[in-house]
């Protein structure tokens, strides 16, 4: 076997490994902490994001309100209510709108097979599926344009409604009776995390084609309009145009924030995104600090090793070792110690994360486990981690190494 400098250094290191056992453990622990903190932090924020977008992504929701300003001689306090034709009106006049859908709802009894429950029943169009992440379970579908155009008596129901009425049975193709009118179930909502809503989670809702809904609903008004702008950056512009157009139509001041109630999830998401990023950075720093403690230990150990091996350094200098060789040796030893500790920390963290991900989580309610039990181990996390470790290896190795290389050969040789 050929001896090379790194191999020679590795040999010397191996013979001393017992002395570095504790430090290796500290590094193992530090690595485990950093990686778990990053993975759980990332998992938590990604679950937050998923459930945040459970309502819908890049969504602007508009409903009627009450004026708070006098406008064109009209008093304040007037109620503003939209009507179904406003949807087409807005779509034609605002080119920045990508998708738009109406929504009206009413609380009605819903029954099937002799069971009766009271639920919110909504009337809407096919576009609602994209706007509000209404993904059907396999074997079913959401309402389609035909349903709406022809006023079909079909329904799309939340998974809890399905369970409450049909138990474990597949509701697709079965009849439900809404407000005394029979409808055929065409699809059931797939389970999803959802933390923002009105009228309860989507799991508890019943959706009908807007035209069919209007036939059994007596009121002429529209409860809500959902809009997705073409680009995220256009959301404020779209919001302003909606206020201006509807303001002209219903005669209110477009600057009157109370005339329409607008829920802009895009602006909310921006803020939430900043918070999530903040949490992640915070967790990363916590982990890095833990690892730093290990690194301080390594520096300390390396200083001790330099002291202990002063005479050996002297010998190497006497037989012609250049400064670079001495520096290399100590940097490499630092690297060996780090590799040993961080390797096992990495393996352990990786396996723990994947074990935890196997634990099933419930989509009902908002259990903390839904956020905690889905840690994510990404390449990005690994790269961040490598960056931290690399920096620490360098910092904890360079000072002892330089000190070793600056030793006076004579004094080093005489050192006992």
Partner 1 sequence: MIEFRGIKKIYQMGGHALEALRDVSLNIGKGEFVSIMGPSGSGKSTLMNIIGCLDTPSEGEYYLEGRNVAGLTFDQLASIRNRMLGFVFQNFNLLPYATAWENVELPLLFNGKNAKKRRERVAELLKAVGLLDWKEHRPSELSGGEQQRVALARALANDPPIILADEPTGNLDSHSGEEIMGLLGKLWKDGRTIVMVTHDDRIAARSERTIRLFDGQVA
- Shortest CB 372 distance to partner 1, Å: 48
User: Are the beta carbons of 255 and 70 closer than 8 angstroms?
Assistant: no
User: Are the beta carbons of 128 and 142 closer than 8 angstroms?
Assistant: yes
Give backbone dihedrals phi and psi of 148, rounded to 5 degrees, phi first: -75, -45
**Which lies closer to partner 1 via its Cβ, residue 318 or residue 359?**
318
- Shortest CB 342 distance to partner 1, Å: 25
Which residues are near partner 1 by CB under 8 A? 2-5, 8, 11-12, 15-16, 311-312, 314-325, 408-410, 413
**Which lies closer to partner 1 via its Cβ, residue 317 or residue 401?**
317
- Shortest CB 21 distance to partner 1, Å: 17
**Which lies closer to partner 1 via its Cβ, residue 4 or residue 218?**
4
Give the rounded distance of the alpha carbon of 143 from its chain centre.
28
Residues 221, 199: Cα–Cα separation, whole Å: 18
Enumerate helices (H) and strands (E) in the chain, giving the number of each. 14, 9
- Shortest CB 337 distance to partner 1, Å: 16
- Shortest CB 6 distance to partner 1, Å: 11
Residues 254, 80: Cα–Cα separation, whole Å: 13
**Which lies closer to partner 1 via its Cβ, residue 15 or residue 180?**
15
User: Are the beta carbons of 177 and 112 closer than 8 angstroms?
Assistant: yes
- State which H helix or E strand residue 185 sits in: strand 181-188
Give backbone dihedrals phi and psi of 304, rounded to 5 degrees, phi first: -65, -40
In the block, tokens 């902490």 appear at 33
**Which lies closer to partner 1 via its Cβ, residue 11 or residue 88?**
11
Strand 115-124 vs strand 97-112: parallel, antiparallel, or unpaired?
Answer: antiparallel
- Shortest CB 398 distance to partner 1, Å: 18
**Which lies closer to partner 1 via its Cβ, residue 61 or residue 327?**
327
């Amino acid at each position: 076997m050929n001896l090379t400098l790194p191999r020679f250094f590795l040999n010397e290191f191996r013979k001393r490994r017992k002395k570095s056992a504790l430090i290796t453990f500290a590094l193992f622990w530090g690595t485990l902490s950093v990686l778990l903190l990053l993975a759980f932090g990332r998992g938590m924020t990604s679950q937050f994001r998923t459930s945040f977008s459970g309502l819908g992504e890049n969504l602007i929701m508009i409903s009627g309100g009450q004026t708070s300003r006098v406008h064109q001689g009209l008093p304040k306090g007037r109620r503003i209510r939209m009507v179904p034709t406003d949807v087409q009106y807005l779509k034609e006049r605002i080119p920045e709108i990508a998708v738009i859908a109406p929504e009206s709802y009413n609380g009605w009894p819903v029954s099937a097979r002799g069971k009766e429950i009271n639920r919110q029943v909504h009337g809407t169009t096919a576009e609602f599926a994209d706007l509000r992440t209404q993904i059907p379970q396999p074997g079913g579908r959401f309402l389609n344009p035909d349903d709406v155009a022809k006023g079909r008596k079909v329904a799309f129901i939340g998974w809890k409604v399905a369970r409450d009425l049909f138990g474990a049975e597949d509701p697709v193709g079965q009849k439900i009776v809404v407000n005394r009118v029979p409808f055929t179930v065409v699809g059931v909502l797939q389970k999803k995390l959802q933390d923002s809503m009105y009228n309860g989670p989507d799991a508890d809702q019943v959706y009908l084609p807007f035209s069919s809904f209007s036939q059994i609903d007596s009121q002429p008004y529209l409860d809500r309009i959902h809009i997705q702008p073409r680009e995220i950056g256009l959301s404020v512009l779209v919001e302003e145009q909606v206020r201006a157009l509807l303001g002209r139509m219903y005669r209110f001041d477009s600057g009157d924030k109370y005339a329409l109630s607008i829920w802009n999830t895009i602006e909310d998401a921006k803020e939430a995104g900043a918070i999530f990023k903040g949490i992640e950075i915070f967790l990363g720093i916590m982990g890095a600090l833990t690892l730093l403690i290990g690194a301080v230990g390594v520096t300390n150990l390396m200083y001790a090793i330099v002291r202990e091996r002063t005479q050996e350094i002297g010998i190497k200098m006497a037989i012609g070792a250049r400064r670079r060789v001495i520096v290399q040796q100590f940097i490499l030893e630092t690297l060996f110690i780090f590799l040993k500790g961080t390797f096992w920390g990495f393996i352990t963290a990786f396996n723990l994360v994947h074990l935890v991900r196997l634990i099933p989580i419930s989509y009902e309610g908002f259990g903390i486990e839904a956020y905690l039990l889905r840690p994510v181990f990404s390449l990005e996390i690994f790269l961040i981690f490598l960056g931290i470790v690399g920096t620490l290896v360098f910092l904890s190795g360079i000072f002892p190494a330089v000190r070793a290389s600056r030793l006076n050969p004579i004094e080093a040789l005489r050192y006992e």
